[in-house]
Amino acid sequence: MDHDTKSQAGRGRSHAPHLTVVGILAVFLAAGASAFAQQSFRTEEVLAIMAQGPAKGSERAPVTIIEFSDFQCSFCWKFWKETLPRLDEEYIKTGKVRFVYRHLAILGPQSVTAAQAADCAGDQAKFWEYHDTLFASKGLFGLTARSLKRYARDLGLDGAAFDQCLDSGKYAKKVEGETGIGRLLGANGTPTFFINGLRLVGAHPFETFRAIIDEELRKGRQVPVPEEK
């Protein structure tokens, strides 16, 4: 899904409680949807926990972007293909943005399995390489279990360890937890982004991200730029 809406969803940073993704989802489910309304957890606290996921960029970057995404989503693919490379060059590699990936596996069983496979690749320090492979492997059989295991071997991973991780469902609860938290945060379409807490839904062009990021940087958190010699 692609929705061209954005709204405020809690800005700023906080010291997040020491909870896992699965743990915090369990609290929400036990308390019901009213947990948010009653501020059992503030949105910024939840986002601080979610910001601990697979990331690119400096931990000291003044702007954090958290993407909730599905590997089967065509709009997520569009963002990966057209916008993320530009963000990487202009903001991530320059220390201005930290980019975090979280799962919003809502498009069926293959989405869920692919998300788990990416985390299994992360066990062998290949999350981002596997992430890129999944988005590059569009097609009818691109996300079958056989294909997912083949990608691991193509990337030079320990195939037996990867297969064991995927077949055991090691990350099933984690993927379920991230997806549930994403929905509770208002991520009802893929991709959904939180840019320093500002929610942005849909595969917006690079210029939209630039405007939001630059506004955040203008708030006194700019990264020093080396002077030209």
pLDDT digits (tens, 9 = 90+) for 26-48: 655 555 555 555 555 678 888 98
Question: Lowest mean pLDDT: which of 53-62, 119-128, 218-227?
Answer: 218-227
Residue 215 reports pLDDT greater than 70: yes
Which pLDDT belongs to residue 43? Answer: 82
User: Under DSSP, is residue 12 helix (H, G, I), strand (E, B) or coil?
Assistant: coil
DSSP conformation class of 69: E
pTM of the model: 0.81
Mean pLDDT score of the chain:
84
Structure tokens at 32: 């019901």
Q: Which amino acid is at 38?
A: Q
Rg of the chain in Å (alpha carbons) = 18
Which pLDDT belongs to residue 90? Answer: 97
Residue 229 reports pLDDT greater than 50: no
> Which residue pairs, CB below 8 angstroms and at least 24 apart, start in 201-205?
201/2, 201/3, 201/4, 201/5, 201/6, 202/2, 202/3, 202/4, 202/5, 202/75, 203/2, 203/75, 203/76, 203/78, 203/79, 203/83, 204/4, 204/83, 205/82, 205/83
User: Under DSSP, is residue 157 helix (H, G, I), strand (E, B) or coil?
Assistant: coil
Which pLDDT belongs to residue 139? Answer: 66
Domain boundaries, the chain: 5-217
Give the residue from 172, 201, 24, 4 showing the smallest Cα distance to 103: 172
Please name the residues in contact with 128: beta carbons below 8 A apart, sequence gap of 6 or more: 54, 56
Which pLDDT belongs to residue 156? Answer: 98
Q: Are 69 and 191 in contact (CB under 8 A)?
A: yes
Confidence of residue 6 (pLDDT cuts 50, 70, 90): very low
Which pLDDT belongs to residue 11? Answer: 40
The topology (CATH level 3) of 5-217 is: Glutaredoxin (3.40.30)
Range with the largest mean pLDDT of 21-30, 43-52, 142-151: 142-151
DSSP conformation class of 174: H
User: Under DSSP, is residue 166 helix (H, G, I), strand (E, B) or coil?
Assistant: helix
